[in-house]
Amino acid sequence: MSQVPPPTAFAADPIGALGIVRIIPIVVIDDAAHAAPLAEALIAGGLPVAEVTLRTPAAVAAIEVMARQPGFLVGAGTLLDPGQAARTAGAGARFAVSPGFDPAVVTACQSVSLPVLPGGVTATEIQLIRRAGLDTCKFFPAEAAGGLRTLSALSAPFHDMRFVPTGGIGPDNAAGYLSSPWVHAIGGSWMVARDLIASGQWDRIRQLTAQAAAIAASHRPGTR
């Protein structure tokens, strides 16, 4: 199992807590009634975290349910509009994730004290994210953008940044990312595939989550 931070870490430093859990399950949820059993399966599997993407009408209600789950850290993903910051923070999201870097979205998150991970995949984007005062960003779409090779090249000028690669990562390539000194955590949907959630396959989700947690536990970041 991966290391599980104490629940107090979730409130005090959600981004730091992601760096302890190290794998963020990325969820597309169609029915808020699935939120509680999904959170329970993730906790049982050893990854007590979810990024609930704002891609479905059920997402905000699902965040509300997961935010009430003891020992669970829920964030909102796919923030595309500034107005989504207050809405999701109000629902109980402890962190926000955006696919790209939109300064208005970042400012809106900061105005409601919602830690945010904007996405960047080029030197220009990462430089702008850094200038916005952030030291951690999503690296998306990780595999399509060249994966670890690109990330390693970018880490030279941005040696004070931490990255959360997401997109195209699964059990076969997670270890390489998790071993990189530049990777704070990774995101992925493989253990919470939309059809597994929709069909209520909680035991399968727990199994896949436990496998992912084991990969995280055995691949710690190297020294910078």
Nearer to ligand 3PG, 98 or 155 (CB): 98
C-alpha distances (whole Å) from 26 to each of 120, 138, 160, 166, 191 are 17, 13, 26, 9, 9
Query: Could you tell me which stretch among 4-12, 109-117, 150-158, 184-192 binds ligand 3PG (CB under 6 A)?
Result: 184-192
> Of 40, 64, 125, 138, which residue is the catalytic one?
138
Active site residue 51: yes
Q: What is the closest distance, in whole angstroms, from the C-beta atom of residue 23 to ligand 3PG in the complex?
A: 10
Active-site entry in 40, 51, 64, 143: 51
189 binds ligand 3PG per the rule CB under 6 A: yes
Instruction: Please confirm, yes or no, whether 125 is among the known catalytic residues.
Output: no
CB of 53 to ligand 3PG, least distance (A): 6
Residues 55-114 that bind ligand 3PG (CB under 6 A): none
Contact 212, 178 (CB under 8 A): no
Q: Which token pair is 121? A: 């995949």
Query: Rule CB under 6 A: is residue 26 a binding residue for ligand 3PG?
Result: yes
Q: With respect to ligand 3PG, which residue has the nearer C-beta, 115 or 188?
A: 188
Helix ranges restricted to H, the chain:
7-12, 14-21, 35-45, 59-67, 83-91, 103-111, 123-131, 147-155, 174-179, 194-198, 202-218
Chain positions 114 to 173 lying near ligand 3PG, rule: CB under 6 A, are 140, 166-169
One residue of 22, 32, 188, 209 binding ligand 3PG per CB under 6 A: 188
Query: Least CB distance from residue 31 to ligand 3PG, whole Å?
Result: 18
**One-letter amino acid of 217:** A
Structural tokens at position 3: 């290391």
Query: Which C-beta is closer to ligand 3PG: that of 10 or that of 190?
Result: 190
- CA-based Rg of the chain, rounded to a whole angstrom? 16
Q: Which two tokens stand for residue 220?
A: 């710690």
> What CA–CA distance (Å, rounded) separates 176 from 192?
21
* CB contact at 8 A, 42 and 72: yes
Q: Report, as residue numbers or ranges, the catalytic residues.
A: 51, 138
User: Where does this chain bind ligand 3PG (CB under 6 A)?
Assistant: 26, 140, 166-169, 187-190
